[in-house]
């Protein structure tokens, strides 16, 4: 079992829909990252959070430390949101610098 699990693996939505991507992890963490990767390969950091909730534009990220779970929400989705969304965690023991990644959720938003 991977230390970081994401669901769903693939998601298709129509423009305007509210989208939720889930991330569960099995280790103690000091921080959780949400990343966006476009087909060319480049990765953009969306959020880094260790508690509560963060919002940036149409994106909202929440984390529940007790339940070891985080969600990324996209409101009023748009075709330009189509990308792979990756959850990554930084452990709180051992190599503090190491990020462990999920396998990503591929989102396709259609008109």
- Choose the binding region for other proteins from 20-28, 51-59, 70-78, 84-92 (rule: CB under 8 A): 84-92
Of 43, 62, 71, 73, which one interacts with other proteins (CB under 8 A)? 43
Candidates 13, 61, 89, 104: give the one binding other proteins (CB under 8 A): 104
Q: Which residues contact 35 (CB under 8 A, 6 or more apart)?
A: 43, 44, 45, 46, 85, 86, 87, 88
**Residue 31 burial by CB count (10 A; 0-12/13-18/19+): exposed, middle or buried?**
middle
Residues that bind other proteins (CB under 8 A): 4, 30-31, 33, 35, 40-45, 48, 86, 88, 90, 95-104
């Amino acid at each position: 079992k991977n230390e970081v699990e994401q669901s769903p693996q693939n998601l298709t939505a129509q423009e305007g829909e509210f989208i939720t991507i889930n991330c569960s992890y099995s280790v103690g963490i000091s921080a959780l990252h949400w990343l966006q990767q476009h087909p060319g390969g480049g990765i953009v950091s969306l959020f880094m959070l260790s508690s509560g909730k963060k919002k940036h534009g149409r994106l909202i990220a929440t984390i529940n430390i007790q339940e070891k779970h985080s969600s990324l929400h996209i409101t009023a989705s748009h075709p330009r949101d189509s990308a792979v969304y990756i959850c990554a965690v930084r452990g709180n023991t051992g190599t503090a610098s190491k990020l462990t990644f999920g396998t990503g959720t591929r989102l396709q938003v259609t008109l």
